[in-house]
Amino acid sequence: MRRYGKHTDEDDIRSRPNRKGTRPRTNIRPAHEDAAEGMVLTVDRGRLTCLVDDRTILAMKARELGRKAAVVGDRVALVGDLSGKKDTLARIVRIEERSSVLRRTADDDDPFERVVVANADQLAIVTALADPEPRPRLIDRCLVAAFDGGLTPLLVMTKSDLAPPDKLLELYGHLEIPYVVTSREELETGDAAQRVQEHLDGKITAFVGHSGVGKTTLVNALVPEDRRRTTGHVNAVTGRGRHTTTSALALPLAGEDGWVVDTPGVRSFGLAHIDPSRVIHAFPDLEPGTVDCPRACSHDEPDCALDQWVAEGHADPARLYSLRRLLATRERTEGD
């Protein structure tokens, strides 16, 4: 069953008991050889907007997919009416293997993890320098989720017209993460979009961050209006009259084949699912020092071999400090 990919086995309907009232289980499934390939652009109450060739098509999940949910960024196979005409609904019969997954839980005790975006190459962690205040804990958590999910991080610091970036740059400098600082004025002149764009070409970049930091403002500056119109931005008006994004939406960049994914603001980024051994991969300068670690070392415990290794001068102690800060972010509560 090669075409189902290895990521499907956790949800595979064949491994679950037959539910009452459904047909007897069978291994004979339609081949769907005529299925079209598409990409999920947005999901709204079980309706998925997919890009197939140059058309946006409304689709729903076929029953045979079981519990497995398609998310923004997923590559899917579709059958049925693929015309994209009004009142038509195609069916998604297959979700292709994902190259990356950005996951979060509502909080650290929440066993229910959701995939925010599939197949993104890069995670743009957007933080305002003021209004709302930067929250390093949230940034750290997004970084860990990026490293864990196989996404390259990019820091975007907005609203430099309201406060300088110095303190944050000090905190993140040792992580050697690329960053961009933008202001209201640079948004208006187009400089902000241009400088962010330099990091996006040819990639799928998901924008995440607290509500109100300016994700949608940036995405709108990056994506020409006619391209935004195809799917329509999903917005709601908050109590204070501000527009807030309510579902993730993938939009194509002009020129290169890059994509940006705008996402709703988050208050927290639960990391219940994180595996520390995947986080260390994001620190290639430290990774060789872990060969003498005890088995299943968290790299944040007394027997960890990294202390000795760094003391011998193999790597910058500030890097180890940064790694530990990220690993510890799982144990601490957010907001401090």
Ligand X SMILES: Nc1nc2c(ncn2[C@@H]2O[C@H](COP(=O)(O)OP(=O)(O)OP(=O)(O)O)[C@@H](O)[C@H]2O)c(=O)[nH]1
d(CA 152, CA 166): 23
Residue 301 touching ligand X (CB under 6 A)? no
Tokens of 21: 């009232």
Residue 297 touching Zn ion (CB under 5 A)? yes
Please, are residues 154 and 199 in contact by the beta-carbon 8 Å criterion? Answer: yes
Residue 208 touching ligand X (CB under 6 A)? no
Q: Name which of 183 and 230 has its Cβ closer to ligand X.
A: 183
Q: Write the DSSP assignment of 228-271 as a string of letters.
A: HHTT---EEE-TTS-EEE-S-EEEEPSSSS-EEEE----S--B-
Q: Name which of 241 and 284 has its Cβ closer to ligand X.
A: 241
Report in angstroms how near the CB of residue 233 gets to Mg ion at its nearest.
Answer: 8
| Triad 98, 103, 107: Cα angle to 5° | 165
d(CA 292, CA 147): 22
Stretch that binds ligand X, among 50-58, 144-152, 176-184, 284-292 (CB under 6 A): 176-184
161 binds, among Zn ion, ligand X, Mg ion, none (CB under 5 to 8 A by kind): ligand X
Q: Name which of 119 and 182 has its Cβ closer to ligand X.
A: 182
Contacts of 259 (CB under 8 A, 6+ apart): 73, 203, 204, 205, 250, 251, 252, 253
Q: Name which of 249 and 323 has its Cβ closer to Mg ion.
A: 249
Q: Contact with Zn ion (CB under 5 A): which of 75, 203, 299, 325?
A: 299
Stretch that binds ligand X, among 10-18, 38-46, 133-141, 153-161 (CB under 6 A): 153-161
Contacts of 133 (CB under 8 A, 6+ apart): none
Q: Residue 19 CA to chain centroid, in angstroms?
A: 33
Q: Name which of 159 and 203 has its Cβ closer to ligand X.
A: 159
214 binds, among Zn ion, Mg ion, ligand X, none (CB under 5 to 8 A by kind): ligand X
Report in angstroms how near the CB of residue 192 gets to Mg ion at its nearest.
Answer: 16
Binding positions for ligand X, rule: CB under 6 A: 158-159, 161-162, 182-184, 187, 209, 211-217, 243-245, 264-265
